[in-house]
Structures are given as structure tokens and as C-alpha cells.
């Protein structure tokens, strides 16, 4: 065990950093990689130039791959308000802290008018009186099928506008979910949950983020964790990301 102590708002927490819980989905250049938004799988392939192929197996001195992917469509990613604004905002500028007290909750979306939705009441009941900086939402039923699911044209569950508004009003800065979007797949571009969470039409929350396409295994029990939200340094509205949870062993 490797312990470290963190102090937040005069509360001291001890965590075990030797046992990280990775809740990201690895990006694979294969058809089994999960996809959304009507695009094909990501591509990872050696650079070719004349007789040169960037693969040790093909005789090169190094493996030298090009990677083609879309952060929003191909796996775990973290996005900022720049995802929905005319003005350019980069996740690399908006996310400047990476360690947060977080609450993991599990909810079962309910059927409404042919959709499966996550309501304010569900989140309110799951969070109780907790007001962490970050919330991770695991949808039930939960299975490893989420690691390979092809989401296009499947109308996945989503957050109601009231749910995103509640999270914002509760002071949640970082929302993580195991779905390809917090909004309905085909909503005529309304993006009600995105806009409510980022306070799009008023004082926009430039330091708030949404992370989609996470996967939290069943053996990880709901509760309070420390979250390390890691991103690649992309100057873009979104970046592939690697959220890591750490158990609190003492407070």
C-alpha cells in the first residue's frame, strides 16, 4: 500500500495510490472498439512511404503508427463548453486542475415516451446530501458489453434537462457518465443537458467538464472516491481522457 494525504476544505483524506481504478475505455484500432455518431471504428496503422512501412514486424527499426479517431465517437473523452459554442474554447485551457473529490452513483434509467431517461429524482436520491466536485454516473444494467457497443441509431439513455440543471445548481463541476452523450442521440440539436450543465445562456461555466463513454466495473462499489481526471494536451473542445479513481482509506 502506498498512502498519500490530501486536504480539502479543512478535511483530511488518506488514499491508497497503489491501487488505481481505471474507468476509461481503451482506444483500439478494431471494429470491436465502441462507436457512436455514425462513424466507423478508429484506425491505427503504420506510416507508409514508398518502400517504408513503420512497423518492426515489416523490417523497420521502430513502430511508427498514424492514429485516426474522433474523441466524441470512439471512447472515453472529456469535453468543455467549446463543444457547443461559436467561440473556440479548448479543453486544455478549461481543465487546469485534475484531482477532485468524487461520488460514484448507479442509476437505472426509466422508460418515458419510448426513451430511457435519467431523472433529477434519481440523482437526488443517489447523492443524498453529498455535494462533491465530481459525479460519476453508472447506468444499470451494467456489463462489459459497454466496452464494445455500437451506439449509432440505438437511442441510448440520456439525462433530462432538469437533471443537468440540478447537478449544476448543486455545484458539480465535473460530470462523468458511461454513455456516449448526456443528451438524446437525435434531439434536433437542442442539447438541453449540455446547455443546462454549462449554463450556456447565462454566465457560462468555462471550468466545468463533461466526460462521456466511461466504464465502471461492477466490483467497484458506489461511494466517495478521489478522481484523477487525466487528459491529453489537445487544443480542441475535447480530448481522449483517462479518469482514475482512488479509494479513501481514512478521513
Give pLDDT tens digits for 199-225: 999 999 999 999 999 999 999 999 999
Quick one: pLDDT band at residue 1, thresholds 50, 70, 90?
Answer: confident
Instruction: Classify residue 231: in a domain, yes or no.
Output: yes
> Do the bridges between strand 115-118 and strand 158-159 make them parallel or antiparallel, or are there none, so unpaired?
parallel
The angle that helices 161-169 and 120-127 make with each other, rounded to 10 degrees, is: 30
48 belongs to a structural domain: no
Domain annotation covers residue 208: yes
Q: How many CB atoms are closer than 10 A to CB 98?
A: 12
**How many helices (H) and strands (E) in the chain?**
4, 17
Distance CA 208, CA 173 (A): 5
Has residue 19 been placed in a domain? yes
Would you say residue 12 lies in a domain? yes
- Which residue do the cell numbers 426509466 mark? 110
Coil, strand or helix at 163: helix
Overall number of domains in the chain:
1
Which domain does 129 fall in, by range? 3-27+74-250
Pairwise CA distance, residues 89 & 106, whole Å: 31
149 within some domain: yes
At 126, which CATH number?
3.50.30.50
Would you place residue 141 in the very low, low, confident or very high pLDDT band (cuts 50, 70, 90)?
very high
Can you name the residues that pair with 15 across neighbouring β-strands? 4, 248
Instruction: Please check whether residue 224 lies inside any domain of the structure.
Output: yes
- Whether 141 is in a domain gets the answer yes
pTM for the model: 0.96
Amino acid at each position: 500500500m502506498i498512502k498519500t494525504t490530501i486536504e480539502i476544505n479543512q478535511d483530511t483524506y488518506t488514499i491508497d495510490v497503489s491501487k488505481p481504478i481505471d474507468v476509461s475505455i481503451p482506444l483500439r484500432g478494431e471494429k470491436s472498439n465502441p462507436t457512436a455518431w455514425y462513424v466507423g471504428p478508429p484506425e491505427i496503422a503504420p506510416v507508409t512511404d514508398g518502400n517504408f512501412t513503420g512497423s518492426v514486424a515489416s523490417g523497420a527499426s521502430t513502430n511508427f503508427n498514424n492514429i485516426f479517431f474522433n474523441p466524441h465517437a470512439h471512447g472515453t473523452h472529456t469535453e468543455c463548453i467549446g463543444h457547443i459554442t461559436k467561440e473556440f474554447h479548448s479543453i486544455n485551457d478549461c481543465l487546469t486542475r485534475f484531482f477532485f473529490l468524487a461520488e460514484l452513483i448507479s442509476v437505472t434509467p426509466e422508460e418515458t415516451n419510448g426513451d430511457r431517461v435519467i431523472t433529477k429524482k434519481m440523482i437526488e436520491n443517489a447523492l443524498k446530501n453529498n455535494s462533491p466536485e465530481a459525479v460519476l454516473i453508472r447506468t444499470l444494467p451494467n456489463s462489459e458489453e459497454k466496452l464494445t457497443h455500437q451506439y449509432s441509431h440505438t437511442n441510448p439513455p440520456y439525462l433530462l434537462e432538469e437533471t443537468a440543471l440540478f447537478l449544476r445548481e448543486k455545484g458539480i463541476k465535473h460530470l462523468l457518465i458511461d454513455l456516449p452523450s448526456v443528451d438524446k442521440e437525435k434531439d434536433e440539436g437542442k442539447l438541453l443537458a449540455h446547455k443546462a450543465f454549462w449554463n450556456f445562456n447565462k454566465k457560462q461555466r468555462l471550468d466545468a467538464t463533461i466526460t462521456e463513454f466511461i466504464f465502471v466495473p461492477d466490483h467497484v462499489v458506489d461511494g466517495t472516491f478521489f478522481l484523477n481526471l487525466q487528459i491529453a494536451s489537445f487544443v480542441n473542445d475535447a480530448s481522449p481522457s483517462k479518469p482514475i479513481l482512488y479509494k479513501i482509506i481514512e478521513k
